[in-house]
Structure formats: structure tokens, C-alpha cells
Amino acid sequence: MNNREDNKKEQKAESPVADCNNLNLVESRIVYFAILRGKLEGKPFSPVTLSVNDFRKLLNLKGRSSYAEIKKLADNITRKKITYEHENEQGQQVHELVWVKKFHYNEGEGTVYISLNHDIAKLWEDTPYTEMDFIYLMRFRCQYTERIYALLCKNRKNEIAAFSLPDLKKNLALDENKYTGIYELKRRVLNPAIKDINDITDLVVTYEEIKGGYMNRTRGILFKIGRKGERELLVRSSSDRILWL
């Protein structure tokens, strides 16, 4: 069996070491922006400051209510935590860390100060994301896109990736009783996420159902992964950089 055929076998899905699954879209966009800005300035995970106007553009906040929204957002995001596990000589260890150590809105100066928890930096060491990927992550509109994109990034060299439905749902943090039918899973999760990826990133992705067994039911999903042409990617990348940086 050749390598391509080997890759068609269902894989055990691996989620990234760290992800923003417990954050909403606005909160995850803030985290990704802070990570990217620090990387571009050569000071990863260092505090960043930006004007309120730039912050509003980043989050698409409009109208007078945006100032109240920023204050509410500051309170919420500093309470959110990430839980991760690792094993050492003492056994399995479980840790909880806050995502954002400090979020300060200075109304007088018209600035927003964001300080990520530096302890989360090590959780991103093995993620497959480039600087351009962080720009993509800030633009996603579906809450499930990030996890699917991370899985596909790890397999983009293989051009295909297959996952059983239980593994895929586990990596999307979906309750086993949610979207139990393939129609709802496709409509609510897969279709909007794949549209996000195709509209925003350098990947071109399609998927098909893997069927078999009793009544030929769907038991997995096979993703086919391609890349956009160089010319299209250049135009899109330039536009993204202007918009987000």
C-alpha cells in the first residue's frame, strides 16, 4: 500500500497543544492579535497597547455602545481559563491558567492595554501556526473553524486527512449528544467552517463522508487539502496584513 493510501486510513485526531476553544470569537480574536503583535515586534507574549479606534476595528465594534462593550469584555476575558494536562514522574498533572493577565481600558488616553499570561507561551510551542495563520485565525467567523483548521494544517503536506466521527467531535469539543445526525453536523459545523477556511486562508478544502457498516452509515470524514495559487495568495495576504496590522 502506498503512502497516499496509508494516509486515507482514519487517523486519531490530534488537537493543538493550545487553542481558544473556551473563548468566544471576540475573545479568541483578542488573544490571537496579542500573540501576533508580540511575535512581529520580536517580543512574543509581551504586553501590547493599541488605540481604542484600532481595537474597535479589530473587533468590529460600532456605535456609542462600544465603550461599554470594551469594559464588559475586559471583565469577561480576564476570568477565562485554559486547562491543560501533562505527565511527569509524579503522574498526570492538571493545570489551570488564565488567558489574559491584565486587560486595561484607559478612556482618558483612548488606549487598550492587553497583557497575556506569559505562562501560556509554552502551550503554543508545538502548534502548526505561522504568522500568517494568526491573521487567518483572527478572521474566522465560525466557532469550530479554528480546530478544524489546526487539524488540517498538521496534515496539509499529506493533502488528505481522515477522522472517525467520534474523534472529530472530540477534537471539536462537541458533546457526544450534540449534532448526532450527520445532516446537522454538516450544516452547523463542517459547512460553515470549511467556507471560512476556503474564504480566508491559503487552503482549498473539500470533504466527503466515509461510509460503511450497517446501512452504509457515515462513520468518518475525509478532508482533501489543496493550496491557493501564488497570485491569489499574494493579493489576499497583502489585503489581510493591511486590515489587521
Query: Are 186 and 138 in a shared domain?
Result: yes
Grid cell at residue 79: 476570568
pLDDT over threshold 70, residue 239: no
Q: What pLDDT score does 42 carry?
A: 85
| Range in 72-76, 117-121, 230-234 the model is least confident about | 230-234
* 3-state secondary structure (DSSP) of residue 20: coil
Local confidence band at 170 (pLDDT 50, 70, 90 cut-offs): confident
pLDDT band per the 50, 70, 90 thresholds, residue 19: low
pLDDT at 113: 94
Based on the domain organization, do 120 and 175 belong to the same domain? Answer: no
8 Å CB contact between 113 and 136 = no
- The answer on 162 and 89 residing in a single domain is no
pTM of the model: 0.74
Q: Alpha carbon of 93 to those of 83, 90, 134: distances in Å? A: 11, 8, 29
Q: Which residues contact 62 (CB under 8 A, 6 or more apart)?
A: 56
The grid cell for 43 is 517580543
| 162 Cβ contact list (under 8 Å, min separation 6) | 7, 8, 9, 10, 11, 210, 220, 221, 222, 223
Region for residue 159 given its phi and psi (left: phi exceeds 0; alpha: psi -120 to 50; beta: otherwise): left
Share of residues in the chain with pLDDT > 70 (%): 80
Query: Could you say which of 124, 152, 175 is where a domain stops?
Result: 124
**Same-domain status, 120 and 133:** no
Across residues 200-207, what is the average pLDDT?
93
Render pLDDT for 60-113 as a digit per residue (tens, 0 to 9): 777 665 777 888 888 999 999 887 777 778 878 788 889 999 999 888 888 999
Whether residue 106 sits in one domain with residue 139: no
Residue 1 has pLDDT above 70, yes or no: no
Range of the domain at 185: 3-16+129-244
How many other C-beta atoms are found inside a 10 Å radius of the C-beta of residue 79? 9
Q: Are residues 47 and 118 located together in one domain of the fold? A: yes
Q: Are residues 116 and 144 in the same domain?
A: no
Single residue among 98, 124, 150 that ends a domain in this structure:
124
Q: Report the C-alpha gap between 38 and 23 in whole angstroms.
A: 20
Q: Does 133 share its domain with 239?
A: yes
Over residues 4-30, the mean pLDDT reads 59
Domain of 185, CATH number, reads 1.10.10.10
Tell me, yes or no, whether 104 and 133 share the same domain. no
Amino acid at 198: N
> At a CB cut-off of 8 Å and minimum separation 6, what does 177 contact?
none
Last residue of a domain, one of 59, 90, 124: 124
Number of domains into which the chain is organized: 2
